């Protein structure tokens, strides 16, 4: 089994065995692939169509090389949440999941947000949080302290996955969605008990859900938003799965039935990084554009529902009030 032999299998759009996938991801994580080979591997997987063998092998390899946070573990009395989209949806929307995570933390829920800089979007979660003054380069001990003090910490993927140094240049050069967009939400080193995960490609929902079940998550909502977005949207119907204690069931979230007006995709887009950060600030102040505020409230409602704070309709009412009030404690780490 050699690297060229496996690349040839992918070139023929044939599936890899568990052993072949494990071998390639281990070679990738240890820097034994050249950038050309790494790019060919990621593009070969996408052209073939990523499957559970590929995704599971990637997750195993990444977690085996990841750093962990000491003393932090989700419990029934202290659930840990993560809100994230896979990215790669090409929509250039504002940083919705980042806003949702900060509102959740402001409400007193523990949020360990795992993310990265923009690769194929206008502004990644890391770019947005950095723009707000939230530190990215935290040690595991500093992240632990942040979770205890602010109920929030950002886990910058390259810092917690040192092996990403071999992958990031390739992903940045490719500039398009790869398997790592799907893997990202599954690689949080804290192992959150609750997750809200948006997937831009509805064909990957079941695959993501199956793999997420293997992480031991207690409750999660994994969905494809209307119009190809990786967020719950107020237009169209959001379809996906609810995961509860090892079970996965289909679900539908229709914002119209929860009292949200039908906005359009164009109303939640930003023009670039500076616009994204400025927009995020206005949303956190409770003064953002109504279509964006409603989108944040809808996704926040999904989080509260997973935390058993009421029906989706009841949680939507709570979320609207929270979002329009703005952050009550201010931006974490500020000052």
Is residue 230 part of an annotated ligand binding site? yes
From residue 219, give the alpha-carbon distance in Å to each of 93, 197, 247: 26, 11, 9
117 is in an annotated binding site: yes
258 labeled part of a ligand binding site: no
CA-based diameter of the chain, in Å?
A: 59
CA–CA dist 314, 326 (Å, integer): 19
Nearest to 224 by CA among 243, 205, 196, 250: 205
Bridging pattern class, strands 219-224 and 194-198: parallel
32 appears as a binding residue in the annotation: no
The response to whether 90 counts as a known ligand-binding position is no
Tell whether residue 153 is among the known ligand binding residues.
no
Residue 64 among known ligand-binding residues: no
CA distance 181 to 102: 22
121 carries a ligand binding annotation: yes
- 98 annotated to a ligand binding site: yes
Check the annotation: does 264 bind a ligand: no
Contact yes or no for 102/152 (Cβ under 8 A):
yes
Spell out a b/e string for 206-237, using b for 16 or more CB atoms within 10 Å of the CB, else e. ebbbebbbebebbbbbbbbbbeebbbbbbbbe
Helix axes 312-325, 290-306, angle to 10 degrees: 130
How many angstroms separate the CA atoms of 133 and 152, rounded?
Answer: 13
**DSSP β-bridge partners for residue 112:** 153
Q: Binding site for anthranilate: which residues? A: 85, 116, 171
Q: Binding site for 5-phospho-alpha-D-ribose 1-diphosphate: which residues? A: 85, 88-89, 93, 95-98, 113-121, 125
Q: Binding site: which residues? A: 85, 88-89, 93, 95-98, 113-121, 125, 171, 230-231
Q: Binding site for Mg(2+): which residues? A: 97, 230-231
């Amino acid at each position: 089994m050699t690297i060229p032999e496996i690349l040839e299998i992918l070139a023929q759009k044939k599936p890899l065995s568990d052993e072949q996938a494990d071998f390639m991801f281990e070679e990738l994580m240890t820097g034994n692939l050249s950038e050309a080979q790494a790019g060919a591997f990621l593009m070969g997987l996408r052209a073939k169509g990523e499957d559970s063998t590929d995704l599971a092998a990637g997750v195993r390899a990444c977690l085996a090389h990841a750093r962990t946070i000491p003393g932090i573990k989700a419990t029934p009395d202290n659930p840990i949440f993560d809100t994230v989209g896979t990215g790669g949806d090409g929509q250039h929307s504002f940083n919705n999941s980042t806003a949702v995570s900060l509102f959740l933390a402001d409400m007193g829920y523990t949020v360990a947000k795992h993310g990265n800089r923009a690769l194929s979007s206008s502004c990644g979660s890391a770019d947005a949080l950095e723009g707000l003054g939230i530190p990215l380069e935290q040690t595991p001990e500093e992240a632990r302290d942040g979770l205890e003090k602010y109920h929030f910490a950002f886990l910058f993927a390259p810092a917690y996955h040192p092996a990403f140094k071999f992958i990031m240049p390739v992903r940045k050069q490719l500039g398009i969605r790869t398997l790592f967009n799907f893997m990202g939400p599954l690689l949080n080193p804290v192992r959150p008990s609750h997750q809200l995960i948006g997937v831009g490609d509805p064909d990957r929902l079941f695959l993501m859900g199956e793999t997420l079940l293997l992480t031991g998550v207690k409750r999660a909502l994994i969905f494809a938003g209307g119009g190809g977005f990786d967020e719950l949207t107020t237009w169209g119907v959001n379809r996906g799965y609810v995961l509860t204690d090892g079970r996965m069931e289909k679900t539908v979230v229709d914002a119209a039935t929860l009292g949200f007006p039908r906005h359009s995709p164009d109303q939640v887009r930003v023009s670039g990084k500076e616009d994204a950060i400025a927009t995020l600030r206005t949303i956190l102040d409770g003064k953002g554009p109504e279509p964006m505020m409603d989108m944040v409230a809808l996704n926040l409602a999904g989080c509260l529902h997973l935390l058993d704070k009421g029906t989706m309709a009841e949680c939507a009412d709570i979320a609207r009030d929270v979002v329009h009030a703005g952050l009550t404690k201010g931006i974490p780490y500020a000052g």
